[in-house]
Amino acid sequence: MSDLSLDATQLDRYSRHVIMDEVGPEGQAALLDASVLVVGAGGLGSPVIQYLAAAGVGRLGIVDDDVVERSNLQRQVVHADADVGRPKVESAAASVERLNPDVTVETHETRLDAASIDAIAGDYDVICDASDNFATRYLCNDYCVLTDTPLSHGAIYRFEGQVTTIDTRGTRTGTDGPVDDASAEPSPCYRCLFPEAPEPGTVPDCATTGVLGVLPGTVGCIQATEAVKLVTGIGEALTGRVLLYDAADMSVETIDVRRNPDCPVCGDATTIGSVDEVSYEGRCRVPAE
């Protein structure tokens, strides 16, 4: 593939990618051909949406059933004061359209659930979980594991954030792109880290405890970075690792994690074959055989 695959305007817009040996015109063309679904257009979703749009991801899906509130604006930077009362998917889509006309935006003004996820997420290359509740996190995890769809997960609490990447495709990421590697350690999934959600009501949300406004910007940018790496094949993804960030003392720690062979979703003897078999209420338990 040559520079001629990009038109003059695109060569100008993405010039800082094109001149990088690791990305180049081929990597930029891959981004323009890619599709990423962002689940949540709030604190985490805002930077994910903005930076994937700026990077030139050709098709960007946005799922959210909420409307913009003034209290969101302290951290949800894809929205503005004039958007208060507007559906978040509409506000975010308008922001993307102003930022980059190369990007086609698909909006889904709904709450993702087991009945709708396949119709919404079925033809995206990568999913970014920027949700704010355990039910959606487990749903995204289970669906992505069952369909071999790469998933970037992020979560925040007060001053702290975490990011991990789940990719069960049996490939590893290298500087020349995704490489088939049957000997690679299988990627652990979210259920390997957290087999069950905590009891409802035991983990307060940001409306109760607050959140540092700049925190989701940092964590969401890392998620967007992971999505770009998954599409282009550059670098090493956060598979098998959890990145922990503490804004209060400005510390970053990466913890290695391994797949749980007894995991009901990605383990050696899985117990489910579809998200329809799981109740995503309460503690999001997977039924035992």
Q: Would you kindly state where each structural domain of the chain is located, as residue ranges?
A: 7-277
Question: For position 205, what pLDDT does the model report?
Answer: 76
Question: For position 179, what pLDDT does the model report?
Answer: 47
Residue 192 bears catalytic tag: no
Q: How far apart are CA 206 and CA 204, in angstroms?
A: 7
Question: What architecture is domain 7-277?
Answer: 3-Layer(aba) Sandwich (3.40)
**Sequence-ordered strand ranges (E) for the chain:** 35-39, 59-63, 104-108, 126-129, 151-157, 160-166, 171-174, 177-180, 241-246, 251-256
For residue 44, which amino acid is it?
A: L
Question: For position 273, what pLDDT does the model report?
Answer: 86
The 10s digit of each residue's pLDDT in 185-222 is 678 999 999 998 888 777 777 778 899 999 999 999 99
List, for the chain, all residue ranges whose pLDDT scores fall below the cut of 50. Answer: 1-4, 171-179
Q: Which of 128, 189, 192, 206 is catalytic?
A: 206
Q: Which of 93, 87, 94 is nearest to 111 (CA)?
A: 87
Question: For position 287, what pLDDT does the model report?
Answer: 67
Question: For position 198, what pLDDT does the model report?
Answer: 85
Asked whether the beta carbons of 142 and 265 are under 8 A apart, the reply is yes
Residue 240, token pair as written in the block: 């098998």
Question: For position 286, what pLDDT does the model report?
Answer: 74
Q: How far apart are CA 15 and CA 113, in angstroms?
A: 39
Q: How far apart are CA 132 and CA 28, in angstroms?
A: 31
Q: How far apart are CA 77 and CA 10, in angstroms?
A: 25
